[in-house]
Structure 1
Amino acid sequence: MAYAAARAAIGDSEFDRDTAVTARPGEPGTYDADLSAGWTIIRAVNGGYLLAMVGRALRAALPHPDPISITAHYLTASEPGPAVIRTETVRAGRTMSTGQASLYQRAEDGREVERIRVVAAYGDLGALPDDVRTTAQPPAMPPYEACVSSSDAPEGVANPVVGSTAILDRLDLRLDPATAGWALGAPSGAGDMRGWLGLADGRDHDAMSLLLAVDALPPTAFDLGLAGWVPTLELTVHLRCKPAPGPVRVSLTTRNLAGGLLEEDAQVWDSASRLVAQSRQLARAPRP
């Protein structure tokens, strides 16, 4: 099959293989994909993984390589299995292009169901000016070696990352102990989550994996003392520059939960202490 060939051609990175898309012959701007069960949380496919897959389709469709700003609305829960992504070029300029895309899957009755709709501006992160004027600072957290992974959980205690989920096997995630108290039944109530994040196979981060990184940590709702699924309704990501090699530091904060909804703001810092990505998402709080 064409899709299997495309996956094999990408290389050894599990993330790259599992976010591969292949152009559908005779249908310009249309791409076939396969949502991997390896990137699920309980039964739902992770939203950052989905965004990276749609981001790849837009990269293939647009004349510029990198998402600069990308916004996704999650319409229905995605499931592992075949999917189709339809893209549209809205505008193509000299330094920036804009496109939109939707990912669809077939329901049991054969209907095509839209899962996620995306609008994005693409450019070239490598061509951006290097002038930086910022008051933002990397999150204060212990070094990688002093943070906790899923293997650090005492026997009989909840996983300090996020329970039993397939996505954990794909990630190298180390949480700041100050934001992991919820796993021991002692959430801080501050709505914070921080950690080091890499991919388990050692692949360095790039623009596509940063789309995953902003949605890869446990939800801040856990630090608020809330347990359960926190489905994303909308997610906007701004990419600022190409990340340096090595794991990134991710900081998540929630400062307002009202009407059953919460916001989650993310900052992603690379190994050179540069702010490489920012995001905000709106999500449903876990229901009692």
Structure 2
Amino acid sequence: MLPDLEGWAVFARVAESGSFASAARSLGLSAPTVSKVIARLEHRLKATLFQRSARHLSLTSAGISCLERARRMLADGEWLEAELREGAANPRGTIRLAAPMGFGLDMLGPVLPAFLERYPEISMDIDLDDRTVDLLGGRFEAAVRITPGELPPVSSGGAHLLCRSMMRLVCSPELKARLGAPETPDDLSGKAGLLYANADLPDLLRLKHQNGEQASVRLHGRMTVNSGDMLLPALRNGTGLALLPDFMLRKDLESGRLVEALPGWQGNVLSVWFMVVGCGATRQQMPARLRVLLAYLERALGGKISQDYSAAQEKTR
């Protein structure tokens, strides 16, 4: 019996958008149709994928365990269709893209050369800036936006989820040892902090434990910078603690140059969105060059950092 590929695609869209209604709009379907597809998939699996209430929709543990693979199936299908659909037309033109500095350097930089090689008639004009640029009044037609939480930013165009990530509180192993291997947020109150200037309250860190407990800790700012990448050398040197997204920290955590400062505690969820300007919310309304870029980024980035997010969410259930 063939897998329910339509069901998995709809499941991924509902999980990304946070509601049946939002998923229905992005898919060009009615909300009852989306609900029936999910019910059909759950009946087939003999498992509940979503916890439903009048005001809230969240993934069950079964849904969380399936999400990453469902997103990969959807991204692979969209990438295949985009390639075949645009194969004869040869997408061309210049993509004017705005993106945050850290995400551009750490995530976009390594994957875009292969995209440009695949589409030789597409050029890219990229502006990296951690400030939120004016998309409607500016010269951009697309942007990567990172928002706290799981809801898309308000947009006059379309917002398409690329991946999700976690904020992690980290320091050097040497600093953690000097701090006496802290166990609670209170143990870090007033300690030296390396702060990201674009945060609402740079020195106030909001944390959540795997058991659901929440806490805040205020650090003493030793360095405040509007670029997370500039904090990394000071982090490695043991100058202070920092709360940064895991896509900036992966290599340092894997090598042991940086460690988690508090066992079991993490920062907010981050959602990474591909925003389009001046066209509707559906892919069919995008210029071909944007459509193939979105499909490529979903495929290239979707599995890189959202696995950490899924694992962290699983632990909090």
Q: Larger relative contact order (C-alpha < 8 A, sep ≥ 6)?
A: 2
Q: Decide which structure has the larger Cα Rg and report it.
A: 2
TM-score (norm 1): 0.24
Q: Report which of the two has the higher share of strand.
A: 1
- What's the TM-score once normalised by structure 2's chain length? 0.22
Higher helix share: 2
